[in-house]
Structure 1
Amino acid sequence: MARTAHALHILVKHKDQAEDIVKQLKKGAKFQTLARKYSNCPSGKKGGDLGEFKQGQMVPQFDRVVFKEETITPHLVKTKFGWHIVKVLWRS
């Protein structure tokens, strides 16, 4: 079972905007470019890069996506902070 992961994310306030960003990604837009443009999280300045973190370090909804869903595929998840588009780079 994975204990650490490295992920990127884009944080926005509204579901409609998050869904639009996912559509842009599916059309070939670069994740890091969209993170710099739209993300409300300070990590947006780094292309949404959260770096490596341990399981249990993030809020439960976010953690569940990072440690159970497919890697590389963008996933949409709602937390108390807003809507996240999450891209898991790897897990170990």
Structure 2
Amino acid sequence: MASTAHALHILVKHKEQAEDIIQQLEKGKKFSDLAKKHSTCPSGKKGGDLGEFRKGQMVPQFDKICFTGELLTPHLVKTKFGYHVVKVLYRT
């Protein structure tokens, strides 16, 4: 089982906006460009890059998708912070 993951995310307030971002990604838009434009998280300035983190460091819903979700696929996750579009780059 992986103990660390490296992920990108885009944080927005509304589910509809997160779903729209996923559609744009599926049409070929760059994750980093969308993160810089839409994310309300400070990581948006870095293209949504959260870097590498350990299992248990993030809120449970976010953590679960990062350690069980399909790699390199945008996932929609709701947390107390809002709606995240999460793309897991790798796990170690």
Structure 1 length-normalised TM: 0.99
Secondary structure in 1 matching 2:29: coil
**Corresponding residue of 1:26:** 26
Q: For this pair of structures, how many residues does the alignment match?
A: 92
Secondary structure in structure 2 of the residue aligned to 1:70: coil
Q: How far 1:53 moved relative to its partner?
A: 0.2
User: Partners of 2:67 and 2:45 in 1: how far apart?
Assistant: 24
- Which consecutive aligned stretches of 4+ in structure 1 deviate over 3 angstroms post-superposition? none
Give unmatched runs, 5+ long, in structure 2: none
Q: Provide the C-alpha distance between the structure 2 equivalents of 1:71 and 1:56, rounded to a whole number of angstroms.
A: 18
1:55 maps to: 55
Q: Name the % identity.
A: 74
Q: Which residue of 1 aligns with 2:35?
A: 35
In the superposition, the TM-score normalised over structure 2's length comes to 0.99
Q: Secondary structure at the match of 1:24?
A: helix
SS at the partner of 1:90?
Answer: strand
Q: CA RMSD in A?
A: 0.3
